[in-house]
Structure 1
Amino acid sequence: MAELYLVRHGQASFGSPNYDQLSELGFQQCRWLGEYFRQRDITFDRVICGEMVRHHQTAETICAALEQPPQLETHVGFNEFDFKALLQRFGDAHPDQAVDDWGDLRQVYRCLRAAMLAWAEDRLPPCDSQESWHEFRQRVAEALDFARRGGRTLVSTSGGAISMALSQLMGFGAETLVNLNMQSRNAAITHCFYTASETYVTGFNQVPHLDTPERLQSITHS
């Protein structure tokens, strides 16, 4: 059977003016993951990214540590949804639940959970400049089809896209999707086997390359 490795990007630059940039720790997480693959002789027939800078940095760093040339393909379907715009839209509709400290990760995640559920359940005011939940779902489905074309494929993407992919593969609803998204760890692996007719999820949010006493403090969620 063919294999699909969905990898969330390394730690990004939360709290800085430009979130879409790996932190120093984010680059290190990806190097460790590439070394993990190399030690186990895991190479990839295809490497696919979303369009975000952090997606490309993640894939390139993994491939460098793996000592595999990064021949990257890009698919817009693996982009993350615009979480900042979603939080702003949710805050405008629910001022009492709006983010007032963008440097407070717990507050941002608490508001994001509520905003995602409202988005999924169509409880937000219409906004032509932002994609609908249905559009998000559709583009991730198209990206999954693009990725599942045989061989062993690495996909560098984001937690929202991975959670949406899992909801389609496993058939669960929005609340479970949002709960999984809130758990997403940086540089974590979600692994699938697939055939022409079936896809089997065999692992979610795994960080074997960080599962040592000296690296446990390097497990992050941003």
Structure 2
Amino acid sequence: MGSIYLIRHGQASFGADDYDVLSPVGIRQSEVLGEHLAQLGIRLDRCLAGDLRRQQDTARLALAAMQRAGIEVPSVETDAAFNEFDADAMIRNLLPGLLPEEPEARHILRNGTEHRSEFQRLFALLVQRWHSGEYDSNGCESWQGFVQRVENGLQRALQQASHGDNIAIFTSGGTITALLHLVTCISASQAFTLNWQIINTSLSQLKFRGREVALASFNSQAHVQLLKAPELITYR
């Protein structure tokens, strides 16, 4: 059987003008992940990443750390199917409908770094509305459209895979959530309950034989836990 390693990007720059940039913590997480993969003796046959900067940079830094440890690594192939859903567009389109119930929502969402717990609560509410399909808008990708995009990327990866390949996919939490939904057939709501637990640079593993795919492990944090560095365990 082959393996697909789903790797969430390192910590991005939450609250900054450009979220899509790894923070110093995100850079270190990516390097630590690569060192850990090298220690495990994992050799990758292919490496895929979405085209978001945080995904590409996490891949680049992790592979460079593996290479420094003497492990031969593949080049990074880009497939935008593994991009995160557009959270900003989702918020813009669904927020007006939430304001009658949550009149402070706009202020909280604009100042997330000052209201982290409330930001997460409101963001989860909006995500719930999004994946329910009851509030679909022409202004953003639907949950079903997102899942189809991710499934197309997975099928391309499987079509091009050889038996026993080790494939790394550097992606985002929402994309991993869609893949959990597809592979395990759990509901979108259940998948997003797991989503909130996915840490930056965590490692989830799928096993595949042909087109058959099964979940082998989820959200491994061993690379940061072994360092006893709690500051490297982040969720956004």
> What is the TM-score when the length of structure 2 is the normalising length?
0.89
SS of residue matched to 1:205: strand
- Contact map agreement 2:46 2:74 (CA 8 A) in 1: no
Equivalent position of 1:136 in the other structure: 146
Amino acid at match of 1:90: L
Equivalent position of 1:32 in the other structure: 32
Q: Deviations over 1:106-136 (max 9, x none)?
A: 2222112111111111222x53231111110
> Pairwise mapping of residues 100-115 of structure 1 onto structure 2 (< 5 A)?
100=108, 101-103=111-113, 104-115=115-126
Tell me, yes or no, if structure 1 residue 72 matches structure 2 residue 76. Answer: yes
> Pairwise mapping of residues 77-92 of structure 1 onto structure 2 (< 5 A)?
77-92=81-96
SS of residue matched to 1:183: coil
Number of equivalenced pairs: 221
RMSD value, Cα: 1.5
Q: Deviations over 1:179-215 (max 9, x none)?
A: 1111110000011111014212111111110113631
Equivalent position of 2:219 in the other structure: 205
Equivalent position of 1:183 in the other structure: 197
- Contact map agreement 1:119 1:133 (CA 8 A) in 2: yes
- Contact map agreement 1:109 1:182 (CA 8 A) in 2: no
- Contact map agreement 1:87 1:111 (CA 8 A) in 2: no
> What is the TM-score when the length of structure 1 is the normalising length?
0.94
| Structure 1 position 61, deviation (Å) | 0.4
Amino acid at match of 2:140: Q
Unaligned runs of 5+ in 2: none
| Structure 1 position 217, deviation (Å) | 2.7
- Contact map agreement 2:93 2:139 (CA 8 A) in 1: no
Amino acid at match of 2:27: F
Tell me, yes or no, if structure 1 residue 168 matches structure 2 residue 182. Answer: yes
Tell me, yes or no, if structure 1 residue 116 matches structure 2 residue 130. Answer: no
Unaligned runs of 5+ in 1: none
- Contact map agreement 1:64 1:70 (CA 8 A) in 2: no
Equivalent position of 1:217 in the other structure: 231
Equivalent position of 1:16 in the other structure: 16
- Contact map agreement 1:83 1:112 (CA 8 A) in 2: no
Q: Distance in 1 between matches of 2:190 and 2:208?
A: 23
SS of residue matched to 2:204: strand
Equivalent position of 1:52 in the other structure: 52
- Contact map agreement 1:60 1:70 (CA 8 A) in 2: no
**Amino-acid identity (%):** 31
Q: Deviations over 1:40-63 (max 9, x none)?
A: 211211010011000000000000
Equivalent position of 1:155 in the other structure: 169
Tell me, yes or no, if structure 1 residue 192 matches structure 2 residue 206. Answer: yes
Amino acid at match of 2:132: E
